[in-house]
Structure 1
Amino acid sequence: MSTLTVTAAVRGGHELPVYPSYYPHEIEVWTVAPDAAERLLQQSKIHAYLGNDLHLSGSAPDLITAVESLGSLVIVRINPQSSYAKENTTACAVAHAVARKLSSNNPDVILHPYPITPLHGDYLYHVDLAEAAKRRLLSDTPVEPTTGNLKVKAAGAAAERLLHAEKATQESDWDVEIKETSLAELTDSAMTVINGWLVPPVARSGWYQAYLALRDAIDVGTRESVEVDLQRIQSGDFNDPVDHINLERAVVTALVNDCRQVVVGYTLKREYFNSEFSAGIENIAFDSLTGLNAAIFLRTVKLKDFPWNGWLRVGIDARPASAWNPITGFSDKFGRLLWSAVADPALLPSPYDQAWMANRITEVQTSPSR
Structure 2
Amino acid sequence: MAGAVLRGDEDLLTGRWIGLVVLAGVLSGCGGGDTLERFDGPTMGSHYSIQYVRPPAGPGPKTVQAEVENILAEVDRQFSTYRSDSDVERFNALPANSCEVMPGPVLALIRVGEQLSVQSDGSFDLTVEPLLNLWGFGPQSRAEQVPSAEALAEVRQRVGHDHLRIEGDRLCKDAAVEVDFNSIAAGHAVDRIAARLQALGIDSYLAEATGELKAVGRKPDGSAWRIALEEPRDDRQVAERIIEVNGYGVSTSGDYRKYFERGGQRYSHTFDGRTGAPVLHNLASVTVIHPSAMMADGLSTLLLILGPERGWDYAQKHDIGVLFVLRDGERFVVRTNDAFERMTRGKTQ
TM over 0.5: no
Question: Higher strand fraction: Structure 1 or Structure 2?
Answer: 2
Please classify the TM superposition score into its range, dividing by the shorter chain length. Answer: under 0.3
- Which structure has more relative contact order (CA 8 Å, sep 6+)? It is 1
Give the TM-score normalised by the residue count of structure 2. 0.28
Give the TM-score normalised by the residue count of structure 1. 0.26
Structure whose alpha-carbon radius of gyration is higher: 1
